[in-house]
Structure 1
């Protein structure tokens, strides 16, 4: 059984990374959806500018906005291809960004006014589904932008990752950021805030060593669950 797991799941994602990655998904969902419970009925700020109003709706970018989740999964797993320390450095920064987002979402509720989408193209249909499933709240900073930028930060300048894929990650992260603008899911300040948050959290994690207790915690969890023996 152990060999089977190593030859299947273990080929794609080391077992030490599975629980921290699941925890990241759980924390992100809890922060994004849970914080809405604390801001019900409160005044929501709209940071829309004239520049934001001038940006056109390009509905087919909704495919990139929605499809970026696969990009996140692939790049987070690629962190493990560099080394275990880098994985924990980057993932702690992601966790830290979620905590900061929770504080900002609750302290500064935000919203925007979305346009009516009337077309019947695939992009229009997907965009309407996004609007139906995601209320216009918790916009600043943009988690979509911050996590996509983390995906680039994680592979940036790493010799273990092909240069071509590093470039692809940068280009795709930029496309995701553009998608947040032209789908009217976010506005300019949300995107800038998301990118800045990612860079700041990564700096603190890597250069201040804040990730080390985080790494030790998950190593203990993996040991308790025998994940480090698979």
Structure 2
């Protein structure tokens, strides 16, 4: 009888593990892959889902006099859009800080989106954006942004919240070079500023985002709730990648 391995479910899972470890696994540990994907999926579901749910509801304009003193500067759209790359890089970095550290962060991340969703429903907000977006490429990008992103779900600002998360999660961790931690802090502040100069948000949206970010990160780090989330994603990991031994035709013929 041939000792060629049978293509069992466990064989397929082993192949998946090996392929993952040789590719994506070089950047994102296997224990984090499904939970980090869910971070971005959950974020989109909360944001888009509540926009659809509240599309016919009355929305409130919370613009203050101080908001009107901030000039419109379309060139800040580059920072506003650049934050998406910043998020991706920092989330990948955070997955590599260790399993417990990652899941504590993930709990805070998920909780923050739930809180955002509650605010988007109980306090629907809107604002009046500039009708003249400017000229040049910055103006084109501003027009594009306004076309795809309705002026709703403003409080708290998810742009500011996620950017602050990216900084706060690594600011005291020596595993990340100090220069990059400082850079992350500076960029997070710039993102918050960009939401004001592009008139995408009010000042109160920034303040609310930072407070919620800090509070949720504290919760994740000082409770044991991460264990439940970790357990859920570990079961999914085992379902996809498994850990079973390979069964050969000789072994199967004995059964």
TM-score interval w.r.t. the shorter chain? over 0.9
Shift of 1:133: 0.5
State the alpha-carbon separation in 1 of the partners of residues 144 and 121 from structure 2. 26
Runs of 4+ aligned structure 1 residues displaced above 3 Å come to 1-5
The counterpart of 1:39, out of the listed 28, 45, 54, is 54
The counterpart of 2:191, out of the listed 176, 201, 216, is 176
Segments of 5+ residues of structure 2 without an aligned counterpart are: 1-14, 245-255
The counterpart of 2:93, out of the listed 65, 78, 98, is 78
Shift of 1:8: 2.3
- Corresponding residue for 1:115? 130
SS of the residue 1:40 aligns to: coil
CA contact (8 A) 2:171 2:181 kept: yes
State the alpha-carbon separation in 2 of the partners of residues 118 and 66 from structure 1. 16
- Corresponding residue for 2:159? 144
CA contact (8 A) 1:16 1:228 kept: no
Q: Which has the higher contact order (CA 8 A, sep 6+)?
A: 2
CA contact (8 A) 1:81 1:160 kept: no
Q: Deviations over 1:145-166 (max 9, x none)?
A: 1100000012111011000000
- The 5 Å alignment of 1:118-133 reads 118-133=133-148
Shift of 1:210: 2.2
Q: Would you say 1:17 and 2:27 are equivalent positions?
A: no
Number of equivalences = 229
TM-score, normalised relative to structure 1: 0.95
- Corresponding residue for 1:51? 66
Distance 1:12 1:120, change over 3 A: same
The counterpart of 1:156, out of the listed 164, 171, 182, is 171
- The 5 Å alignment of 1:203-214 reads 203-214=218-229
SS of the residue 1:148 aligns to: helix
TM-score, normalised relative to structure 2: 0.86
Q: What RMSD over aligned residues (CA atoms) do the two structures have, in Å?
A: 1.5
Q: Would you say 1:102 and 2:117 are equivalent positions?
A: yes
Distance 1:154 1:75, change over 3 A: same
The counterpart of 1:27, out of the listed 24, 37, 42, is 42
- Corresponding residue for 1:195? 210
Larger Rg: 2
The counterpart of 1:166, out of the listed 160, 176, 181, is 181
Higher helix share: 1
